[in-house]
Amino acid sequence: MGQTMNDEVVKAFKDSTTSVFETMLGSEVTSGEATHNHQLAARGVSGIIGLTGSISGDVIICFDEKTAIAATAVLLGMEPDGLDGDVIDAVGELTNMIAGNAKGRLEKYDLSLALPTVITGTGHRIGFKSGIQPVSLPFISQWGNFSIELVLAEVKALQFGC
């Protein structure tokens, strides 16, 4: 992705994450500096959602287990019983809300969202296509740190001719 699009996409996901946490969880979050990551963060719970359009790839929200459980407790108004189905559903829903909110901020890219998937397990690793350099957006919340990983690439239009 070009630098201009990168900045616009990064801002959309930072603003979206801040908005979703304030609106849905009543929590302020602080974002750190975006960095290019050669390897995605290994945490306990990751929500992944695919994007297609003029940019394509995956958006991943990476939580420590305790952060995911605490956010779920606030979102659902009840204390989950560890890393259970409620936490997995809540992480999937937060992933969907953040990506959906960012999609609305990036209308010119004509984006579509897939259904979110949630992966659990301490230290799990998520691979990505070589040549794509993920951008990591770190956040600090009252429950702990988390990150948004943008594994996105510009889609080149195919040209046909004789």
Each domain of the chain, given as residue ranges in start order, spans 3-154
Nearest to 61 by CA among 112, 15, 5, 17: 17
Please tell me the predicted confidence (pLDDT) of residue 121.
87
Nearest CA to 119 among 61, 51, 54? Answer: 61
- Alpha-carbon gap, residue 30 to 20, rounded angstroms: 13
Q: In this structure, is the dihedral angle defined by the CA atoms of residues 93, 99, 103 and 105, taken in order, positive or negative? A: positive
In this predicted structure, what is the pLDDT of residue 25? 95
Helices 3-25, 85-105: crossing angle, 10 deg rounding: 130
CB 29 within 8 A of CB 139: yes
Domain 3-154 adopts which CATH fold? Chemotaxis protein chec (3.40.1550)
pTM: 0.89
- The pLDDT of residue 154 is 85
Which amino acid is located at 82 in the chain?
G
pLDDT tens for each residue of the chain, 162 residues long:
544 448 899 999 999 999 999 999 999 999 999 988 766 666 789 999 999 999 999 999 999 999 999 999 999 999 999 999 999 999 999 999 999 999 999 999 999 999 999 999 887 877 777 777 889 999 999 999 999 999 998 887 655 555
